[in-house]
Amino acid sequence: MNTSTTAAIIAATNATTTAVNAAIASATAAANGHDGDPNAETPQAERAEPADDIAGLAPTLERLRAAWRAKKPDYAQRMDDLARLKAAFKARMREMEAAVRADFGHRSEHETLIADGMTVVAEIDHLRKHLRGWMRPKRASVGWRLWPARAQVRREAVGVVGVLSPWNYPVNLALIPLATAIAAGNHVFLKPSEHTPRTSAWLQALLADVFPADRVAVALGGPALASAFAGLPLDHLVFTGSTAVGRKVMAAAAPNLTPLTLELGGKSPAIVAPDFPIEQAAARLASGKWFNGGQTCIAPDYILIDAARRDAFVDALRAQVHARYGADMRGASDYTRVVNEGQYRRLRGYLDDARERGLQVIALADVDETRADAERLLPPTLILQPGDDAKAMQDEIFGPILPILGYGSLDEAMAYVETHERPLALYPFSRDRATVERILSRLIAGGVTVNDTLLHFAANELPFGGIGPSGMGQYHGRAGFDAFTKAMPVLWQARMNATDLIKPPYRGKIDRLVRWLVG
């Protein structure tokens, strides 16, 4: 890449950075003042970091792209890269767990191993198992009008894929898109979250040991660097985070027409039908909601249950919390804390708002307030029957707070979901197949797990992605390979063909041939 191209990249980056920084800064201020975005960036005052190397972004992208053009990764290199990544990752998993736990203040070791360990290993295994078949060109029909030409569709890597990853699953949501982009034959530029600085540093060290600097690069920094990163002329950009910041990322990418995969959030509902057992529903919803302290983009955000059983459902949830974490949570080593003070204040603000509105707020475990504030330990807490005006119903909660709404009929419950923004996940609970089909045929969501929660994310063959405000595009498995490659159609013309005859003047036999082709 020559000097003029580098200058163009830097100019493009600088042109978008100022406006997008201001937009993200606005989202940041809102989020840390109890309102809005659960994935907004950390205020500068809460971070002690060196100045972000924004000027180094464009030269790094240039280095990655030049190396990719010089030697595009073939099947052997991709397989070797994935194998080395898996081996290094497994060897450093204990370091990973310690870094994540330190970033959260406290995070369940087993939840880290499941969500940030198992998922990454499983995805790499899936990519390696299927890669040869995915790379193979697929024959395509040309139809009788173009016969005897032949055609195929080839999956070609796009170049350099950028990954903007979040803090809630800081390893999973960085390495799965990265590994998928590598499998697709690309080089990768990763910007992990500054909310989890120890984990981000661990990722940088891991990847530096596995990949050459011109194949995978990592940029560390805060909101200004993230904004500049989104404004780079990447060949594809993956962003995982909130809807509010997703809009800013899309605006930053627009001047370069950068293709986007946006994995956003939203308010994912669970609908418990009257036929489904309360105790089982409570157990499975408790697992999905309070895994990682509720800091999961596909966690159930609110529950719709038949009104006659609402109070019994509350009791069943309380029993689940006591059995898992204790009535006072003194031994709650398996309960993850809120990641930072800004997020803790935001969540406490939802509860304060609910109480001011006269809503019933039920903490399912008794925690000393001094301890709670010191540890950012917010116990599983319910809000009963909140209206749409409650702050907890206006934003993605992204924490251990769970609104419960009783409904009069299943149609009423579906109408409620239908009149709100399309969610990232939907969780129907019913033993009756016809009831489940009624829900699935009426409601649209990014993904669905029936009679459980979260598990569709872990199924490698299922594409993961949102719809509308909950995202665009999808990845995981084949869907990710397709997202990070170009389906390039190729047609080979035969030596003898009719098209050599179809040219002016269109008279006589040629006129009759054209009219015959039109049919």
Q: How many CB atoms lie within 10 A of CB 169?
A: 26
Determine the Cα–Cα distance for residues 224 and 22; give it in Å rounded to an integer. 9
Q: What are phi and psi of 225, to 5 degrees?
A: -70, -40
**Rg for the chain (alpha carbons), in Å?**
26
Q: CA-CA distances (angstroms) from residue 352 to 119, 295, 379?
A: 36, 19, 15
Q: What is the dihedral of CA 359, 364, 365, 371, to 10 degrees?
A: -50
Instruction: Please state at what angle helix 75-91 crosses helix 197-210, rounded to 10 degrees.
Output: 130
Catalytic residue among 41, 62, 263, 396: 263
Q: Is 421 a catalytic residue?
A: no
How far is residue 10's CA from residue 109's CA, in Å, rounded to a whole number? 42
Q: Rounded to an integer, what distance in angstroms lies between the CA atom of residue 366 and that of residue 369?
A: 9
HEC string of 281-324 equals HHHHHHHHHHHHHHCCCCCCCEEEEEHHHHHHHHHHHHHHHHHH
**Candidate list 41, 111, 194, 297, residue with the active-site label:** 297
Rounded Cα gap, residues 182 and 212, in angstroms: 13
For residues 148 and 122, the answer to whether their CB atoms sit within 8 Å is no
Residue 46: exposed, middle, or buried by beta-carbon count in 10 A (0-12, 13-18, 19+)? middle
Residue 22: both structure tokens together: 């201001």
Q: Which amino acid is at 490?
A: V
In the annotation, is 279 catalytic? no
Element (H, E) at 369: helix 369-375
Integer Cα distance of 198 and 123 in angstroms:
24
Residue listed under structure tokens 């709100």 = 420
Taking a C-beta distance cutoff of 8 angstroms, is the pair 155, 486 a contact? yes
Nearest to 28 by CA among 45, 44, 42, 16: 42
Question: In the chain, what's the furthest Cα-to-Cα distance?
Answer: 94
Contact (Cβ atoms closer than 8 angstroms) between residue 238 and residue 186:
no
Known catalytic residues are 263, 297
